[in-house]
Every structure is written in C-alpha cells, then in structure tokens.
C-alpha cells in the first residue's frame, strides 16, 4: 500500500482551492505523488496567477505518472457547460471529476482521496445531506461517519446537515451505537489505539421538561451497552460544559447529536486546524473543513491550514 498517489478533485471552479493549494506547494513538498483530476487549462491559469512554476504533466494513462511532479488527468469542460459555468453551476464537470476518481479507487490505484470544497446546495441539489452521504452511497457503504479531526480533539456529529426540527426523530440507540463503533474502529485501524469517546447529550443539561427524555431513554442505554462490552465511551454530558478544558482533555473524540453542537466549539478552539474525514469507507477520504468561500476568490487572503493538514494526513501513509 506504500507510495500510492493522492487523488485530488479540486471541486468547483469558483473556489479558493487553487489559491490555497499553490500557497502550500510553493512552500512544502510531499512524499506522495499528487494526481489531480481537473480541467488542465484551469489548472494552468491558476498556476500562473499564484506563481507556481514547478513541473506538471497531463497524463492519458496511469503508466505515465511521474513522481515528484503534479500529474493531471484532464477533465475537459464541455462547450455545452459554458452557460452553467458562467452561472457558477459546474455540476457536470464536478460529477465527471468524482466519477473518474472513484473508478481509480475501485481499481486500487490509490486508497488516498482528497476533494476540494464544494457548494453542496448547488451540486447535490438536496438529494443528499452532504458529500459524506454522496460518496458513501456510490460505494454502497453503511455506517459511515463525519469526523472533524484535530490531533488534540476531534468531533463527530451523529446527524450531519439535518435541520434541527428533524434531529430528534433521527436519534436512535442503534444509530448511536453504530456511530460509536465506527469511531472506535477507525481509530484502531488508522491510529492504532482505542479512543476515549465522550458523548454530548441532546437536551440542555441533559434534562427535559418532557415526559420522554432522550438522554435517559436513548443516549444513556446506548452508551452503557457499548461500555459494558469494553469500549471507552462516557456520557452523556451536558453540551454546554463538555468542551471546557478540564472536560475535553479527557477525550480523543466527542460525539454530538447534531452538526453545530460539536462543530461550533471545535472551530472556535482550532479554527482552520482541522480536517473533514469520512470514516467507514474502504479508503481514506478527506477534505478541508471549510467551503469554497466564493467571496474571497482572487483576493489571495485565504488561510491554507486546513488543506495543508488534509494533504499532510494522507501523505503520512497511514495504511502501510
């Protein structure tokens, strides 16, 4: 599994991806070969704009890949897509890029995949909650999970991009247990240790004026069931105190019941120093933990930290 290339889909054209990508490459070299799946003309235009002068080459078959330079599989933008591009709706181009990467993964060309930021509302057209669900459905993989990873502390939302009014209907003992098992397995497989997992409750202070308290009836029994089987999982803890320093230092991962419950405090603590990992796939999929940030395009002010951390994560050859 060593020395596999990192497959990179930059994502939508109207994005800060290439700005931060070339900021990184102008300062840092990676051991892994980088194989970009994108429009070559767009790559060249951005390379010139951001003063990237190192070698790159377009390849038509995989035996042409060269180490220590950027290799490009050219996904040409069709003339019929021009009107969409002008409207910033490059969905066909993005889809073609992903499908090409997925075919290479299925052929075991690589197990390392990174995609740039994508406007989910435009690309997914509300068919999927997010890119995690889009990718997992293609590979017919169950029990996946979103891990926002930082070496000091990571978080996992039980429900992802789900409106708050639907969250309580989604929470079940089975879903909690499955997600905790996914986290535990991922850490054992990739980091080689059993994680300590804290679980945030759903209700304020884990209390409820309702007769049915989800923290008592659903979350606590799920935790107890896995703890009795030897998993290092604890809780539920009130969400307003679990991220206090003396509390968060006890855990490697905190599982929350909904997206912003755990992503808001993590981004407050670490800002761009975190990456988005999809657990439960038969390969490593990561992305920077931010969106395309269209408002910052061409300003050359965007922070490359999250993309750098994502590339660094894949470059370490976790699966040896």
Q: Is the pLDDT of residue 73 over 60?
A: yes
According to DSSP, residue 13 is labeled S
Q: Output the pLDDT for position 22.
A: 96
Contacting residues for 5 by C-beta, under 8 A, at least 6 apart: 32, 33, 34, 35, 65, 71, 109, 110, 112
pLDDT, position 89 = 53
10 Å Cβ neighbour count for 13? 19
Query: Could you tell me the residue ranges of all domains in the chain?
Result: 1-141+281-311, 145-280
- Structure pTM? 0.92
Q: Does domain 1-141+281-311 have CATH number 3.40.718.10?
A: yes
CA distance 176 to 222: 7
Query: Which residues have a Cβ under 8 Å from the Cβ of 57 and sit 6 or more positions away?
Result: 64, 66, 69, 70, 71, 72
Mutual angle of helices 17-25 and 40-49, in 10-degree steps: 60
Tell me the DSSP string of 238-299. Answer: -TTTTTSHHHHTT-SEEEESSHHHHHHHHHHHHTTS-EEEEETSSSEEEEESS---GGGTTS
pLDDT for position 87: 47
Q: Which of 21-30, 102-111, 203-212, 260-269 is predicted least confidently?
A: 203-212
CA pair distance 287, 252, nearest whole angstrom: 20
Report pLDDT digits (tens) over 268-299.
999 999 999 999 999 999 999 998 888 888 88
Residue 155 C-alpha from the chain's centroid? 12
Q: Which fold has domain 145-280?
A: Isopropylmalate Dehydrogenase (3.40.718)
SS (H, E, C) 177-237: HHHHHHHHHHHHHHHCCCCCEEEECCCHHHCCCCCCCHHHHHHHHHHHHHHCCCCCEEEEE
Check residue 208 and give its pLDDT: 81
Contact indicator for 259, 161 with CB cutoff of 8 Å: yes
Angstrom distance (rounded) from CA 232 to CA 180: 10
pLDDT at 86: 47
Per-residue confidence (pLDDT) for residue 147, from 0 to 100:
98
Under the banding of pLDDT at 50, 70 and 90, the label for residue 83 is: low
Least confident of 72-76, 105-109, 272-276, 297-301: 297-301
Of 19-23, 111-115, 299-303, which range is least confident? 299-303
The predicted structure's pLDDT at residue 311: 97
Please give the pLDDT value at position 318: 55
Answer whether 1-141+281-311 and 145-280 agree in fold. Answer: yes
């Amino acid at each position: 599994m060593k020395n596999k290339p990192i497959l990179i889909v930059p994502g939508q054209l109207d994005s800060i991806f290439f700005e931060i990508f070339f900021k990184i490459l102008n300062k840092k070299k990676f051991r892994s070969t980088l194989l970009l799946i994108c429009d070559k003309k767009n790559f060249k235009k951005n390379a010139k704009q951001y003063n990237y002068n190192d070698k790159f080459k377009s390849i038509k078959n995989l035996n042409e890949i060269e180490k220590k330079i950027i290799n490009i599989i050219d996904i040409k933008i069709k003339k019929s897509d021009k009107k969409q591009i002008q409207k910033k709706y490059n969905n066909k181009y993005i889809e073609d890029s992903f499908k090409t990467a997925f075919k290479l993964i299925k052929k075991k060309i690589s197990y390392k995949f990174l995609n740039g930021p994508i406007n989910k509302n435009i690309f997914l057209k509300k068919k999927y909650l997010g890119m995690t669900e889009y990718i997992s459905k293609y590979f017919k993989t169950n029990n996946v999970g979103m891990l926002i990873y930082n070496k000091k502390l990571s978080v996992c939302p039980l429900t992802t991009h789900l409106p708050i009014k639907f969250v309580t209907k989604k929470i079940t003992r089975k879903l909690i247990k499955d997600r905790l098992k996914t986290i535990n397995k991922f850490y054992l497989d990739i980091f080689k240790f059993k994680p300590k997992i804290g679980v945030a409750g759903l209700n304020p202070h884990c209390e409820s004026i309702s007769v049915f308290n989800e923290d008592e009836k659903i979350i606590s029994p799920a935790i107890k069931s896995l703890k009795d089987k030897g998993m290092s999982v604890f809780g539920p803890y009130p969400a307003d105190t679990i991220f206090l320093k003396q509390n968060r230092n006890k855990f490697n991962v905190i599982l929350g019941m909904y997206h912003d419950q755990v992503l808001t405090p993590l981004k407050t603590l670490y800002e761009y120093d975190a990456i988005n990992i999809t657990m439960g796939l038969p390969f490593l999929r990561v992305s920077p933990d931010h969106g395309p940030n269209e408002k910052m395009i061409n300003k050359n002010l965007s922070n490359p930290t999250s993309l750098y951390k994502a590339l660094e994560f894949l470059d370490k050859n976790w699966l040896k």
